[in-house]
Amino acid sequence: MSPRIPPERFRALFDPRGVLVAGVSAHPGKFGFVALHNIITQGYRGPVYGTNLEGGEVLGVPMLRSPDDLPPDAIVDLVFVCTPAAANPDLLRACARRGITAAFLTSAGYGEAGERGRAAEAELVALADELGILLAGPNGQGVVSTPARLCAQIVAPYPPAGGVGIVSQSGNFVSSFQNMARASGVGVSRAVSAGNAAAVAVPDFLEYFAADPETRVALAYVEGVGEGRTFFERVRDVAAAQPVVLLKGGTTAGGQRAAASHTGALASDDRVFDGMCRQAGVTRAATVEDAFEAAATFATQPLPLGPRVAVVTTAGGWGVVTADAITRSELELLVLPDDLRAAIDERLPPRWSRNNPIDLAGGETRDTVPEVLELAARHPEVDAVVYLGIGIQSNEARLMREGQFWGDPGLERIVAYHERQDARFATAAAEVSAATGKPVLTATELAVADPANAGPRTVQATGRLCYPSSYRAVRALEHLWRRARFCESRGLV
């Protein structure tokens, strides 16, 4: 099936040659100010114009009365609308006269506002259709596109660039996922709040993401999916082209009542929805963190070719709980092959675990961690590696830096060594993954407890996610394995 909306129509929304903010305010507390501020400050490179009724200048941008007053040579593709609903029909007509082909509407007072609002929304959709304008929203928070350095939002943040495409029926989840992108360093290609989804809905954006070379994985929050069969068929086609991670709100009776009053979503049997996702090859996430981490993993790790996981750890307990997590999942805890055991024996004193998890048990010297990671990842029976124990040395280094003996050259030397080592381990994990085409996931609570630690900081610098626990690394890897199996059984790439 081809996308309902041709992908090239989204260019005006996600890669506009110029942007007009309609309804700019001089008051920094108003959306009409915030939108202009965010577009200008986050580095959008095209020309930016603004309209309001007061005139004057806001943030250095001279205010026009109407899109009709745009300079004759101005090329503007996108209007970001912060005006009241009543003003919007005339505004859109004027925009169309100036060649604008996409509009993002933050304006409220439409479908969410009773019968009159619904009528106004239907008229707006018909008008946009007639004018050839792609209409996003209304009642949405905005649109972000890192390839265009576009932060057209009435909220923060602006995320780092990357391969995750975000769409949400609830604007604040766009913010949530972008906050997680900022914190983890795993970046975003496009992000959009569907708002009331009057003309362009979640499946339309998903179809665009599948066709978008900047997007490697789609991450969506939904409460309702409209006509179920059509949603299934469309999302199945999207998932055949790229991973789709879906977080659904309203899976319990209590949540469904909340969703009904939030987005008007109809209650459906969650077991049917879950089966539909499995059948479509959609990765269904259980929680907000699970959703982001699954998407981040799809964006930054290769798919495993099988379920067998090797755990490399510098501490016994972590290995044990990780073995539990793997055993409870659809993954397999690899039985350590004899030749791999023999190869590790050559590099470690005999107190290492001699089994999987590969617990180095403190016997490691300068080069052991990179060597064992390499041995494990290169072994043909290993499909994926989880690496635990990064950052321990740099954690002590931090205490040394903060202690009263800092300045002692011996301390400085060892701190530099520790931090260099952790950086090296993080780099080795990324390099061996790239070289073998196998996922190698690094987990430590220091990712949250002390993100400045050289271990997690370097994992982030390699572009990978540093998982805050081994359980969450295993969960993300399980999502990848499910997708790999699905693709393999259906002959998808």
Partner 1 sequence: MGRTLAEHESLALLRERGVPVVEEAVVDTPDAAAAAARSLGTPVVVKLTGPGVAHKTERGLVRLGVRSAAEAESAATELLAAARPDDGAVRLVVAPMVRGARELIAGAHDDPQFGPCVMVGIGGVLAEAVADVAVRLAPLDERDAHEMLDDLRAAAILGPVRGEPAVDRDRLAAILVALSNLVVERPDLVSIDINPLVVVDGAPLAVDALVELRS
Residues that bind partner 1 (CB under 8 A): 225, 227-229, 232, 266, 268-269, 271-276, 278-279, 489-490
Helices 88-97 and 114-131 cross at an angle (nearest 10°) of 10
Among residues 153 and 263, whose Cβ is nearest to partner 1?
A: 263
Output the CA torsion sign for 188, 194, 199, 200: positive
Please give the Cα distance from 255 to 265 (Å, whole number).
11
Closest contact distance (angstroms) between CB of 491 and partner 1 is 11
Contacts 24+ apart (CB under 8 A), 177-184: 177/219, 177/221, 177/291, 177/292, 177/295, 178/144, 180/289, 180/292, 180/296, 181/292, 181/296, 182/157, 183/451, 184/292, 184/296, 184/447, 184/460, 184/465, 184/466
Residue 131 one-letter amino acid: L
Residue linked to tokens 């259709």: 129
Closest contact distance (angstroms) between CB of 227 and partner 1 is 8
Residue 411 one-letter amino acid: L
Closest contact distance (angstroms) between CB of 492 and partner 1 is 13
What is the SS3 assignment for 315? coil
Closest contact distance (angstroms) between CB of 225 and partner 1 is 8
Closest contact distance (angstroms) between CB of 278 and partner 1 is 7
Closest contact distance (angstroms) between CB of 132 and partner 1 is 33
Closest contact distance (angstroms) between CB of 276 and partner 1 is 6
Among residues 268 and 427, whose Cβ is nearest to partner 1?
A: 268
Cβ–Cβ under 8 Å, residues 160 and 181: yes
Closest contact distance (angstroms) between CB of 394 and partner 1 is 41
Q: Which helix (H) or strand (E) covers residue 115, if one does?
A: helix 114-131
Among residues 272 and 286, whose Cβ is nearest to partner 1?
A: 272
Among residues 279 and 287, whose Cβ is nearest to partner 1?
A: 279
Closest contact distance (angstroms) between CB of 270 and partner 1 is 10
Closest contact distance (angstroms) between CB of 327 and partner 1 is 13
Q: Can you name the residues that pair with 168 across neighbouring β-strands?
A: 193, 221
Among residues 59 and 240, whose Cβ is nearest to partner 1?
A: 240
Among residues 34 and 265, whose Cβ is nearest to partner 1?
A: 265
Closest contact distance (angstroms) between CB of 269 and partner 1 is 7
Residue linked to tokens 């080592």: 421
In the chain, what's the furthest Cα-to-Cα distance? 80
Among residues 378 and 485, whose Cβ is nearest to partner 1?
A: 485
**Integer Rg of the chain from CA:** 26
Output the CA torsion sign for 388, 389, 394, 395: positive
Please give the Cα distance from 459 to 430 (Å, whole number).
8
Helices 338-345 and 368-378 cross at an angle (nearest 10°) of 160
Cβ–Cβ under 8 Å, residues 134 and 101: yes
Closest contact distance (angstroms) between CB of 481 and partner 1 is 13
> SS3 helix, strand, coil % of the chain, rounded to 5?
45, 15, 35
Task: Characterize 70-103 residue by residue with b for buried, 16 or more Cβ atoms within 10 angstroms of its Cβ, and e for exposed.
Answer: beeebebbbbbbbbebeebeebbebbbebbbbbb
- DSSP per-residue letters across 234-250: HHHHHHHHS-EEEEES-
Task: Characterize 320-334 residue by residue with b for buried, 16 or more Cβ atoms within 10 angstroms of its Cβ, and e for exposed.
Answer: eebbebbeebebebb
Output the CA torsion sign for 472, 442, 222, 20: positive
Residues sharing a CB contact under 8 Å with residue 206, sequence separation 6 or more, in sequence order: 167, 218, 220, 234, 235, 238, 244
Closest contact distance (angstroms) between CB of 480 and partner 1 is 17
